[in-house]
Structure 1
């Protein structure tokens, strides 16, 4: 009887151990990436690759960056045993010269439920980048050219969000990468192509104007990029009124009455 109890106890312990080992294991190729020198205005992007070396699917619940300057992305579908996935970290270098060291924390159902990945590097401003290049290399750099530098929306109602479309052309000899947008009013949104613009190619940039201050407005906008000639500046103009649909008044028999 004693031997029988010992046998069943061993079986139960064995099953518990098997259950404990039945998990996905997230094995990264590396957990730190050094970009080295990064030109200000570019989006420094690295994909951390991992393989599921366990025996159950891995589901990534969330990836959290240590700051708003770093945008994460990741494999959204379950990663089966033996298969691979990625964690992408994108650091916006615009307006952030100097050394950076940022982390992204990965939360999943893997055997180790939390993993920390690190990106670091040194952002060089455009003058510093130029100093590292030869005249021949400078001649090969990208160049951003806009179809115009001003857009006038005319009369618009406060609270509206009209869109101005600009054509961006790369007249340089290397890929043009657009960075972040800043405006004097903090009232301009930005929609641009996420891909690099090839030499000789063009793309469309959409600026969404959400100015609420009344009156004649002229707001400066700066688009960062890896164009070593400097950031691109343009101006959005508008006459902002409280209500475009206010009743018009016409004179009838010498008396002002609402037009219906």
Structure 2
């Protein structure tokens, strides 16, 4: 009888240990990102890449920044074992001159349910100009584009479209895209590689949602840590027309729907 109880106890312990171990675990490529010095008005953006190194799916329940100056977004789908998710942080530097150091709290069902990431840097003047020596310029990362124009053709008003550009770091140090600026505030971006090594290529995606009709030429400034040309410009072109969905809704039913 005693031997039977001993075996049952041992099996329960083994089951409990296995249950504890069967859990997801998040591993971040980096937990702190330094933007360096950026011009005031820049929407400084960085994507933290995180891998599930455990053996169970992980769901990121929330991402909470320490202030309203930082806007987060994150992978909403379960991150399966061995797969990678993204936590994106956008720091709005408008009206915030000086150094900044912000925390971003990540809550999930991982072994460590709460983890903290950090972004930091310094906000300089809007017309930030810094003097560099020829040696510093020679060692700088360099952002190069295969093409600086993209024509979407015809787009409906409010339709989200994506332009993809191939970029390359022709410099000697890792290249980081730090943000984008456009007059319409209707352009967001994503880079396939958060830090582009020397000689490496990557894909820059610009998502564009036009809200004005007719021919549009949106000039998008790409902000990077390329000290030689930190503000390269791209042009997005589109012929924007009224939404066809809106017209179809007006046609529904047997009788015409009057405007009110």
- The TM tier, using the shorter chain, reads 0.5 to 0.7
TM normalised by structure 2 equals 0.56
Do 1:192 and 1:205's aligned partners in 2 also have CA atoms closer than 8 Å? yes
**Displacement after TM superposition at 1:154 (Å):** 5.5
1:214 shift after superposition: 1.5
Q: Residue 234 and residue 14 in structure 1: after superposition, are their counterparts in 2 closer, same or farther (change >3 A)? A: same
Shift of residue 207 of structure 1? 3.4
Give, in angstroms, the shift of residue 198 of structure 1.
3.8
Q: Secondary structure at the match of 2:59?
A: strand
1:140-219 aligned at under 5 Å gives the runs 140-153=139-152, 156-158=155-157, 163-188=162-187, 190=189, 192-194=191-193, 196-219=195-218
Residue pair 2:159, 2:209 contacting (<8 A) in 1 also: yes
Please, which runs of 5 or more residues in structure 1 have no aligned partner? 53-57, 78-84, 245-260
**Structure 1 residue 140 displacement after superposition:** 1.1
Aligned-pair distance for 1:46?
6.8
Looking at CA atoms only, which structure, 1 or 2, has the larger radius of gyration? 1
Partner residue of 1:100? 102
2:80 maps to 76
Is 2:19 aligned against 1:23? Answer: yes
How high is the TM-score relative to the length of structure 1? 0.56
User: Cα gap change, 1:119/1:135 in structure 2, threshold over 3 Å: closer, same or farther?
Assistant: farther
Structure 2, unpaired ranges of 5+: 39-43, 66-70, 94-98, 245-260
1:119 aligns with 2:148: no
How far 1:141 sits from its partner (Å)?
1.6
Q: Please name the residue that 2:232 is paired with.
A: 232
Say if 1:12 and 1:153 are closer, same or farther in 2 by CA, change over 3 A: closer
**In 1: Cα distance, 2:129 partner to 2:51 partner:** 30
Cα deviation for residue 107 of structure 1 reads 0.7
Distance between the aligned counterparts of 2:136 and 2:11, measured in 1? 63
